[in-house]
């Protein structure tokens, strides 16, 4: 927990020191929130998909616990991504929201997260609830590649990926470093919350 | 041979059941037209405006009104145990689901087609657009039947939250509506969009028997 | 014969029944007796492999049923507590559906005769929803004779029946067992059948 706190602080300092964009000015610093939260929103859903497949195939109860614990975290990351993107979009594009493929598919991801959370409250029987949610997650994972490739498939306002081109990242290292540190910080925070939630869930189940 | 006989038997039963429930189908169509009226009252009667947005409105209202009665997809057969009996007479749940989807498509969604030309008259759509609408709705309604089967079987044991079934159908029907409405501006890409729609239909025809059968098994085990 | 070996069932760690050993030989009628909530229906569902138990096996004619479940299903008629008939269809529609589903060879005259004995013939073209509960139950029980299977498994067959129908049902059970059939039913009412075996579930 201490480590993650340190990483968050280092990340914030790096963000503070990072250079301003000559076009975008100060608003470019929204990126250090926006991009890591978007990555983690996708990562969380990928983890849930993998755990759902494992849970359905091998009948391991732990994976259902993970699903339940992690869903709200993913929802928060997605919401953070959408809000920061919206705040970023207002000065850059002139609107809070455009009906762009990337934006819409991320909004759908948020809806899917919300449905998962609602489904957790819906069914009385635990077995039914867990498996239903797992199957729903698997079917909903169709959305993941759509989000990932939406910038390539459709001509959109949203800029294409600039970090994942590992050989020659089209981003200066002075901006890349704080971004990566912030990503690590975000994932550590997410991980800690997830571990706490999983522990709590296991304790609840033991007591019953 | 016996197997094919059983399949026809099931279809005949579904046909009879949907014939006795014909009022239900007609009330869905009535809902469709009423919501068109409400849309027109809300937007005003500007002919040009209605013609431009008419297609989108018709498609989205078709979607909404055909989700109305999806809850009944399995409910009756599940509650009175016919599903178990059919399973015991040698049909896997996957097959039952597939037959149910097809019969729902044939006996509930296809009759809906008659309402499309009427609705198009109300919006002064061109013949080309009506034709597109019919073609895309035939494919789209097959997808809707698959989605309906999934959401209905998911909600068999759901006694608290009735709207979630409709939410799930609407969520997954987003791609259908994108491609179906996009087909009018497609021009030379017409066939490729149709192919995408058929592809989506095949994907859902593949997924939904598995998913629905799993949901049905779960529901049967836990009652 | 049906052999149940060491069968136990837990619903979420809650024990429903434990270590049940019975064997049903040809020509045997067995009643599962117990008060409400004692797990009678659950027991039947475990035998039918609708619910899957973690310990214990069920053997039919020497073979474990979970190996080839459809082979087992093909030998049984299961009458559940629900009304399997569709409320919107007529009596004859329902009968034809069951007949086709179990590919039964029974002739139409026999069906009319059966309906006559159960006093249902006048309703033949009536929708199920206009019938009384007892009449629907009698219609359900017709499936026993329609399907002509060896093992009959019934859940609460005596519900809603009047005295005459109960007598006919008991006679049917005895006839079936005389033809080497097996009957297993769950009920809290004990019928006056001479060679009744009882499995107590309290």
B54-111 pLDDT per residue, tens: 888 888 898 888 888 787 888 888 888 888 888 888 888 999 999 999 999 998 888 8
Shortest CB distance from C80 goes to which of B6, B9, B84?
A: B84
B140: containing domain: 2-221
Instruction: Tell which of A55, A126, A136 to mutate to test the B interface (max B CBs under 10 Å).
Output: A136
Distance from CA of C194 to the nearest CA of B (A): 31
Nearest residue of chain C to residue B84 (CA atoms): C50
Here the tokens at position B67 are: 């989700």
Burial class from Cβ neighbours inside 10 Å (0-12, 13-18, 19+) for residue C59 reads middle
Nearest-5° angle of CA C126, CA C132, CA C135? Answer: 80
Q: What residues of A are in the B interface, CB distance below 8 Å?
A: 56, 108, 111-112, 115, 118-119, 121-125, 127-128, 131-132, 135-136, 139
Three-class SS of B65-84: HHCCCCCHHHHHHHHCCHHH
Distance from CA of B150 to the nearest CA of A (A): 10
Distance from CA of C74 to the nearest CA of B (A): 6
For chain C, the chains sharing at least 3 beta-carbon pairs closer than 8 angstroms are: B
Nearest residue of chain C to residue B81 (CA atoms): C84
**Residue B79 touches chain C, beta carbons under 8 Å:** yes
For residue A129, the chain B residues in CB contact (below 8 A) are none
Q: Tell me, what's the pLDDT at A166? A: 45
Furthest CA-CA distance within chain B: 59
For residue B207, the chain A residues in CB contact (below 8 A) are 139
**Residue B211 touches chain A, beta carbons under 8 Å:** yes
Q: How many domains does chain B have?
A: 1
Q: Cβ separation of B86 and C87 shorter than 8 Å?
A: no
- The DSSP line for C72-100 is HHTTEEEE-SS--S-TTSBHHHHHHHHHH
Of B209, B62, B192, B71, nearest to B138 by C-alpha is B62
Over residues C31-55, the mean pLDDT reads: 85
Contact B104, B186 (CB under 8 A): no
Task: Give the residue with greater pLDDT, C82 vs B144.
Answer: B144
Given phi > 0 = left and psi -120 to 50 = alpha, else beta, which region is A161? Answer: beta
Here the tokens at position A68 are: 């339940």
Burial class from Cβ neighbours inside 10 Å (0-12, 13-18, 19+) for residue B172 reads buried
Instruction: Tell which of A56, A114, A139, A141 to mutate to test the B interface (max B CBs under 10 Å).
Output: A139
Over residues C68-80, the mean pLDDT reads: 87
Backbone angles phi, psi at B27, to 5 degrees: -70, -30
Here the tokens at position C111 are: 């069906």
* Prediction ipTM score: 0.86
Q: Tell me, what's the pLDDT at A165? A: 46
Q: Three-class SS of residue B30?
A: helix
pLDDT at C140 exceeding the cut of 70: yes
Strand partners, C64: C59
Percent of chain B with pLDDT strictly greater than 70: 100
Shortest CB distance from B221 goes to which of C51, C87, C97?
A: C51
Q: Cβ separation of B85 and C87 shorter than 8 Å?
A: no
- The DSSP line for C36-59 is TTSSHHHHHHHHTTSS--SEEEEE
Over residues C124-141, the mean pLDDT reads: 87
Distance from CA of B62 to the nearest CA of A (A): 21
Distances (CA, A) of C165 to A137, C83, C91: 51, 17, 18
**Residue B118 touches chain C, beta carbons under 8 Å:** no
Rounded to an integer, what distance in angstroms lies between the CA atom of residue C68 and that of residue C49? 11
Q: Tell me, what's the pLDDT at C15? A: 83
Query: b/e per residue, A109-143, with b = 16+ CB within 10 A?
Result: bbbbbbbbbebbebbebeebbbbbbbbbbbbbbeb
For residue A121, the chain B residues in CB contact (below 8 A) are 160-161
Q: Cβ separation of A115 and B167 shorter than 8 Å?
A: yes
Percent of chain B with pLDDT strictly greater than 90: 21
| H-type alpha helices, B105-154 | 115-123, 127-154
A76-125 pLDDT per residue, tens: 999 999 999 888 888 877 888 888 888 888 999 999 999 999 988 888 88
| Residues of chain A under the 50 pLDDT cut | 165-167
For residue C69, the chain B residues in CB contact (below 8 A) are none
Query: b/e per residue, C29-38, with b = 16+ CB within 10 A?
Result: bbbbbbeeeb
Q: Cβ separation of C86 and B88 shorter than 8 Å?
A: no
DSSP one-letter code for C7 = E
Q: Cβ separation of B88 and C100 shorter than 8 Å?
A: no
Over residues C130-159, the mean pLDDT reads: 87
Over residues C123-150, the mean pLDDT reads: 86
CA B222 remoteness from chain centre: 28
Rounded to an integer, what distance in angstroms lies between the CA atom of residue C118 and that of residue C139? 8
Shortest CB distance from C74 goes to which of B9, B76, B90?
A: B90
Shortest CB distance from B6 goes to which of C52, C78, C101?
A: C101
Over residues C149-157, the mean pLDDT reads: 88
Shortest CB distance from C97 goes to which of B9, B79, B81?
A: B9
Contact A127, A205 (CB under 8 A): no
pLDDT at B147 exceeding the cut of 80: yes
Over residues C52-60, the mean pLDDT reads: 84
For residue C88, the chain B residues in CB contact (below 8 A) are 17, 20-21
Instruction: Tell which of B10, B12, B85, B92 to mutate to test the C interface (max C CBs under 10 Å).
Output: B85
Cα separation of the two ends of chain C: 25
Nearest residue of chain B to residue C147 (CA atoms): B89
Given phi > 0 = left and psi -120 to 50 = alpha, else beta, which region is C68? Answer: beta
Integer Rg of chain B from CA: 18
Shortest CB distance from B88 goes to which of C73, C88, C103?
A: C73
CB atoms near residue A168 (< 10 Å)? 6
Q: How many CB pairs under 8 A join A and B?
A: 47
**Residue B158 touches chain A, beta carbons under 8 Å:** yes
Q: Tell me, what's the pLDDT at A50? A: 95
Distance from CA of B20 to the nearest CA of A (A): 32
Rounded to an integer, what distance in angstroms lies between the CA atom of residue A113 and that of residue C138? 49
C110-122 pLDDT per residue, tens: 888 888 888 888 8
For residue B85, the chain C residues in CB contact (below 8 A) are 78, 84, 98, 101
Contact B32, B119 (CB under 8 A): yes
B113-141 pLDDT per residue, tens: 888 888 888 888 888 888 888 888 899 99
Query: b/e per residue, C102-120, with b = 16+ CB within 10 A?
Result: bbbeeeeeebeebbeebeb
């Amino acid at each position: 927990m201490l480590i993650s706190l340190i990483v968050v602080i280092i990340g914030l300092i790096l963000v503070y020191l990072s250079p301003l964009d000559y076009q975008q000015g100060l608003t470019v610093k929204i990126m250090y929130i926006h991009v890591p939260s978007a990555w983690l929103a996708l990562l969380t859903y990928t983890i849930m998909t993998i755990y759902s497949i494992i849970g359905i195939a091998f009948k391991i109860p732990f994976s259902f616990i993970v699903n339940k614990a992690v869903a709200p975290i993913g929802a928060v990351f997605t919401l953070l991504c959408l809000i920061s993107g919206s705040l970023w979009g207002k000065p850059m594009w002139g609107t809070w929201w455009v009906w762009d493929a990337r934006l819409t598919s991320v909004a759908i991801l948020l809806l899917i997260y919300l449905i998962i959370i609602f489904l957790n409250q819906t069914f009385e029987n635990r077995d039914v609830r867990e498996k239903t949610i797992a199957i729903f997650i698997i079917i909903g994972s169709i959305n993941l590649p759509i989000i990932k490739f939406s910038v390539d498939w459709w001509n959109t306002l949203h800029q294409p990926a600039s970090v994942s081109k590992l050989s020659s990242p089209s981003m200066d290292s002075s901006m890349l470093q704080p971004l990566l540190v912030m990503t690590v910080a975000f994932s550590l925070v997410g991980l800690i919350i997830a571990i706490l939630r999983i522990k709590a869930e296991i304790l609840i189940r033991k007591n019953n | 041979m016996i197997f094919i006989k059983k399949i026809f038997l099931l279809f005949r039963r579904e046909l009879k059941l949907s014939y006795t429930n014909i009022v239900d189908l007609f009330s869905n169509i009535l809902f469709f037209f009423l919501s068109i009226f409400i849309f027109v009252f809300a937007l005003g009667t500007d002919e040009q405006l209605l013609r431009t947005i008419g297609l989108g409105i018709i498609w989205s209202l078709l979607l909404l009104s055909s989700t109305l009665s999806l809850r009944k997809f399995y409910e009756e057969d599940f509650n009175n145990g016919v599903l178990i009996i059919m399973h015991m007479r040698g049909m896997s749940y996957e097959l039952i689901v597939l037959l149910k989807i097809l019969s729902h498509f044939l006996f509930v969604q296809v009759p809906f087609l008659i309402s499309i030309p009427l609705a198009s008259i109300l919006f002064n759509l061109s013949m080309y657009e009506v034709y597109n609408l019919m073609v895309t709705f035939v494919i789209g309604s097959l997808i809707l039947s698959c989605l309906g089967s999934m959401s209905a079987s998911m909600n068999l044991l759901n006694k608290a939250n009735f709207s979630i079934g409709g939410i799930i159908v609407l969520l997954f029907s987003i791609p259908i509506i994108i491609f179906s409405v996009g087909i009018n501006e497609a021009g030379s890409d017409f066939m490729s969009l149709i192919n995408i729609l058929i592809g989506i239909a095949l994907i859902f025809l593949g997924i939904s028997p598995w998913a629905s059968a799993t949901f049905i098994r779960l529901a049967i085990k836990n009652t | 014969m049906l052999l149940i070996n060491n069968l136990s069932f837990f619903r979420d760690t809650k024990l429903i029944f434990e270590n049940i050993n019975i064997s049903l030989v040809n020509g045997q009628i067995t009643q599962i007796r117990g008060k409400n909530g004692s797990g009678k229906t659950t027991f039947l569902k475990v035998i039918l492999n609708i619910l899957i138990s973690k310990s214990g096996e069920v053997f039919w004619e020497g073979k474990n049923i979970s190996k080839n479940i459809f082979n087992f299903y093909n030998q049984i008629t299961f009458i559940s507590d629900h009304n399997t008939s569709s409320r919107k269809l007529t009596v004859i529609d329902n009968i034809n559906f069951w007949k086709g589903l179990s590919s039964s060879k029974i002739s139409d005259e026999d069906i009319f005769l059966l309906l006559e004995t159960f006093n249902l013939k006048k309703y033949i073209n009536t929708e199920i929803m206009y019938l009384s509960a007892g009449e629907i139950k009698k219609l359900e029980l017709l499936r026993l004779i329609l399907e002509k299977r060896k093992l009959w498994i019934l859940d609460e067959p005596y519900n809603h029946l009047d005295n005459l129908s109960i007598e006919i049902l008991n006679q049917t059970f005895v006839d079936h067992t005389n033809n080497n059939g097996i009957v297993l039913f769950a009920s809290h009412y004990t019928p006056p059948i001479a060679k009744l075996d009882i499995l107590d579930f309290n």
